[in-house]
Chains A and B, each alone.
Chain A
């Protein structure tokens, strides 16, 4: 790991100021993606701005018909939130599938979303529920936020402070874990909130998380696993690596979508 200067702001404004003064700097949330890539020298920020001392950035609360999660809320705390388990159990189940217990004790929702790893779980939950990503500057719809592998709509100096999830009546996540890494080989998040039906897929797409409009249309007629019978998606645009071929990933998308709908309607 290359060396850097280390900063611990106590307000979002201070953190934004530090980012502006350090254009090659990086925000540090839980650090469980950033520190490993810095060790591999795949990232070499000149400044690290640790958000852990910024007040009011962690916590899960219900606000009207939404669940609002602070960006620095750790995976373990999201998973254990009784408010979330009651209001939106499909989302509460997502962080429990990330990494291992020690990773979940440190990793955060804001860090995961900002990193937008193509195999990460939270991007599927955000897109699959139609979440709003709230930053120090604006509110960004999940549909506009994830712009490609490891890239987002975040601008220079922009800091995620909260994520707001509308409470969907039906929602569930199904993940096919890579047996060694635990990352999603494919993960599918489905939800139904009134006439808004969403099917979001992580792990499979060469450009990161995406929605499957053809599945959503089929589920609009009837939100049941059976509605997806005979439907599949083409292998073009699927990720290809040593773990799985594009065809296999495309196959998993339809299998997991059916399972997720079955789970959401159980």
Chain B
């Protein structure tokens, strides 16, 4: 089997995988990083969003081998090692931006990509439009939108590290 190596949440990792192994399978099954979820497996729901070299991507639509040498950040890579949540995670908790939580890792990784592209001062319309690729079946999105606006502001205030670094 081909070998693949990449950096995941700052740690170098390697593995032997079949060529058809998806990035999300490699993360979940080889590395046991089960925070990245598989919702639809058809590139639509966004539960599997991770950052590849700083840019949000659906890990169900990438082969692990396409990520050879890449830097991957997953939801597990956001909180401080001491346990303090990333401001965007904290904002989701504060604003009750989740119910069942299944879509949340993808929502948060997508939210950080919105901040990367659109900055820290986000209006509701922009957030809703930019969440086009992330589906939530519980919340009706209202609190997710609030959480992202608050999290983006908190990131500016705290000078928080950007997830993708």
Contact = CB atoms under 8 A, between A and B. Distances in A.
B130 A101 contact: yes
Contact of B2 (A6, A28, A39, A105): A6
Given A32-B43, A35-B63, A102-B57, A4 B20 contact: yes
A105 B62 CA distance: 12
Given A52-B66, A103-B133, A31 B20 contact: no
B42 A36 contact: yes
A184 interface: no
- Give the 7 A-B residue pairs with the shortest CB-CB distance, closest first: A100-B133, A100-B132, A6-B19, A102-B133, A1-B20, A6-B65, A3-B20
A231 B117 CA distance: 42
A41 to B, nearest CB: 11
A106 B132 contact: no
B46 interface: yes
Contacts of A39: 41-42
Interface of B: 2, 18-20, 22, 41-43, 46, 49, 55-58, 61-63, 65-66, 68, 110, 113-114, 117, 130, 132-134
A105 B57 contact: yes
A31 B20 CA distance: 13
A50 interface: yes
A24 to B, nearest CB: 14
Contacts of A4: 19-20
Interface residues of A, number: 25
A31 B56 contact: no
Given A2-B20, A36-B43, A106-B57, A101 B110 contact: yes
Contact of A106 (B42, B62, B65, B114): B62
A101 B117 CA distance: 10
Contacts of A1: 20
Given A101-B56, A182-B132, A31 B19 contact: no
Interface string A212-243: 00000000000000000000000000000000
Nearest to B51: A105
Interface in A164-205: 182
16 contacts: A3-B20, A6-B65, A32-B61, A35-B22, A36-B43, A39-B42, A50-B63, A101-B110, A101-B114, A102-B133, A103-B133, A105-B55, A105-B56, A105-B57, A106-B58, A182-B132
A38 B18 CA distance: 15
Contacts of A9: none
A103 B42 CA distance: 12
Nearest to A47: B19
Contact of A101 (B19, B22, B113): B113
A35 B62 contact: yes
A37 to B, nearest CB: 10
Interface string A79-101: 00000000000000000000111
Interface string A1-31: 1111110100000000000000000001001
